[in-house]
């Protein structure tokens, strides 16, 4: 370890040496002790590459006339069930779905009659713009108007990654606990729409609707809020209308 | 644990800026709305730095707060995470001006002169 600057390479870079004693040899120059390090400004975001690719995706979506929605929630909030229902009711729509493993979600959506592309991320906890760009290579855009990107079920990491979407939709199911937006405020703050899902189960789980709505309004002050059940179809019309706005 | 891949980006940017020199310190700015946990970022740094020019380097983290500009009353204000109302007029639709950063501000390299 280099004692002067703390880095691990003591031999390959000279430092002004700090002697407590007088030097025996004559220096022709001033024996100063300049700062041993210098600062190199960088100013670069860790997400710069993702942002560039997201902007490319966004340009591509615009060129193809595609309206794109990024769906985010914890695992099991009903993203895929909502898409099954939505893709049956909304023509000219397709989905890209992200999971760590399996084609199960894409299979479910194909069974609903729609084009669906699965991204399996392996161990990665979110989708990024690069993965989406590769999925787009497999997408048949002819006649498409709407594309859903179902993110990996996770309320933390996906918040950091712009995929190029037009709108962010965050789902909160009634079975999850009304204070979830307070526990995961970062992802909710970026939402354009918060969907309260599985409303058919609200009574069974003692869901406190007012408490949940207050938590959403606090953490996602700019978001619109809709409530629905993909199971019964309650609230689906409002959702479809929002998608068309 | 997306902090690992983000730290790997920061280390690559640091190595590029160092241009072959060993890196003594990295200065990073992290906002609470970036979705990144500082402890996880530090852990990722410890795990990844030894194989880079930043081996043994110091990681300085500058933490910011959510910062807004209120379009209604014109106030500039900071808030805790999860409560973004303007303290002046109570409006909830402030424009985000800070708190979402995750960036490498600068590095320190040995001064050879």
Q: In the 8-state DSSP scheme, what is residue A58?
A: H
H runs (alpha helix) in A47-125: 48-64, 79-89, 104-111
pLDDT band at B56 (very low <50, low <70, confident <90, very high): very high
pLDDT band at B93 (very low <50, low <70, confident <90, very high): confident
* Pairwise CB contact (< 8 Å): A46 & B81: no
- Within-domain flag for A159: yes
CA distance, residue A143 to nearest chain B CA (Å): 36
- Contact between residue B111 and residue A47 where contact means Cβ atoms under 8 Å apart: no
Q: Per the CB < 8 Å rule, is B23 touching A7? A: yes
* A1 domain residue, yes or no: no
- Verify whether the Cβ–Cβ distance A39 to B103 is below 8 Å: no
Instruction: Find the length of chain B.
Output: 113
How far is it, in rounded angstroms, from Cα A41 to Cα A20?
33
CATH code of the domain in which A166 resides: 3.40.50.300
Nearest-CB residue to B105 (from A42, A49, A159): A42
Does the residue A36 lie in any domain?
A: no
User: Is residue A70 domain-resident?
Assistant: yes
- The domain B3-108 having CATH identifier 3.30.2320.80: the answer here is yes
**Residue A32 counted as domain residue:** no
Q: State how far the Cα of B42 lies from the Cα of B30, in Å rounded to an integer.
A: 12
- Say which residue the tokens 């199911």 belong to: A173
pTM here is: 0.84
Per-residue pLDDT tens digits of chain A, which is 245 residues long: 444 344 454 444 444 444 454 545 544 555 566 568 999 999 999 999 999 999 999 999 999 999 999 999 999 999 999 999 999 999 999 999 999 999 999 999 999 999 999 999 998 889 999 999 999 999 999 999 999 999 999 999 999 999 999 999 999 999 999 999 999 999 999 899 999 999 999 999 999 999 999 999 999 988 999 999 999 999 999 999 999 99
Continuous segment of H or E residues that includes residue B24 = none
DSSP state of B22: P
A78-82 long-range contacts, CB within 8 A, separation 24+: A78/A171, A78/A173, A78/A197, A78/A198, A78/A230, A79/A150, A79/A151, A79/A153, A79/A171, A80/A105, A80/A108, A80/A109, A80/A150, A81/A197, A81/A230, A81/A231, A82/A171, A82/A195, A82/A197, A82/A228, A82/A230, A82/A239
Length of chain A in terms of residues written: 245
Is A9 or B64 the better-scoring residue by pLDDT? Answer: B64
Quick check: A46 and B17 CB within 8 A?
A: no
The domain tally of chain A equals 1
Rounded to whole angstroms, the Cα distance separating B2 from B24 reads 25
Determine the 3-state secondary structure of A18 from DSSP: coil
| Cβ-nearest to A13 among B85, B102, B112 | B112
Per the structure, the complete domain to which residue A119 belongs is given by 48-244
Q: What is the pLDDT of residue B92?
A: 85
Please tell me if residue B25 touches chain A, with a CB cutoff of 8 Å.
Answer: yes
Retrieve residue A3's tokens.
């004692």
The larger pLDDT score, comparing residue B3 to residue A31, is at B3
Q: How many CB atoms neighbour CB A230 within 10 A?
A: 23
pLDDT in tens, B6-17: 999 999 999 999
């Amino acid at each position: 370890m280099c004692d002067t600057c703390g880095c691990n390479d003591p031999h390959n870079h000279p430092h002004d040496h700090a002697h407590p004693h007088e030097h025996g040899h004559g220096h022709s120059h001033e024996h100063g002790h300049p700062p041993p390090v210098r600062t190199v400004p960088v100013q670069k975001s860790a997400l710069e590459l993702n942002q560039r690719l997201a902007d490319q995706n966004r340009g591509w979506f615009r060129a193809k006339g595609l309206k794109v929605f990024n769906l985010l929630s914890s695992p099991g909030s009903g993203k895929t069930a909502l898409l099954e229902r939505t893709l049956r009711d909304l023509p000219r729509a397709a989905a890209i779905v992200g999971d760590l493993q399996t084609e199960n979600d894409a299979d479910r959506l194909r069974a609903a009659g729609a084009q669906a592309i699965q991204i399996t991320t392996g161990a990665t906890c979110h989708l990024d713009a690069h993965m989406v760009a590769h999925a787009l290579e497999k997408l048949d855009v002819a006649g498409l108007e709407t594309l859903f990107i179902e993110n990996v079920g996770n309320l933390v990491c996906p918040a950091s990654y712009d995929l190029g979407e037009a709108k962010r939709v965050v789902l909160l199911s009634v079975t999850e606990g009304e204070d979830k937006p307070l526990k995961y405020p970062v992802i909710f703050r970026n939402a354009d729409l918060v969907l309260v899902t599985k409303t058919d189960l609200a009574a069974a789980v003692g869901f406190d609707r007012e408490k949940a709505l207050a938590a959403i309004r606090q953490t996602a002050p700019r978001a619109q809020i809709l409530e629905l059940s993909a199971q019964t179809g309650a609230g689906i019309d409002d959702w479809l209308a929002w998608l068309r706005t | 644990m997306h902090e690992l891949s983000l730290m790997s980006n920061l280390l690559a940017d640091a190595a590029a800026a160092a241009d072959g020199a060993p890196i003594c310190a990295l200065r990073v700015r992290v906002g609470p709305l970036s979705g990144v946990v500082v402890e996880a970022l530090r852990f990722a740094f410890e795990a990844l730095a030894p194989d880079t020019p930043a081996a043994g380097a110091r990681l300085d983290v500058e933490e910011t707060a959510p910062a807004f500009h209120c379009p209604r009353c014109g106030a500039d204000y900071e808030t805790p995470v999860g409560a973004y109302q303007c303290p002046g007029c109570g409006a909830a639709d402030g424009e985000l001006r800070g708190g979402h950063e995750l960036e490498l501000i600068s590095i320190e390299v040995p001064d050879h002169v």
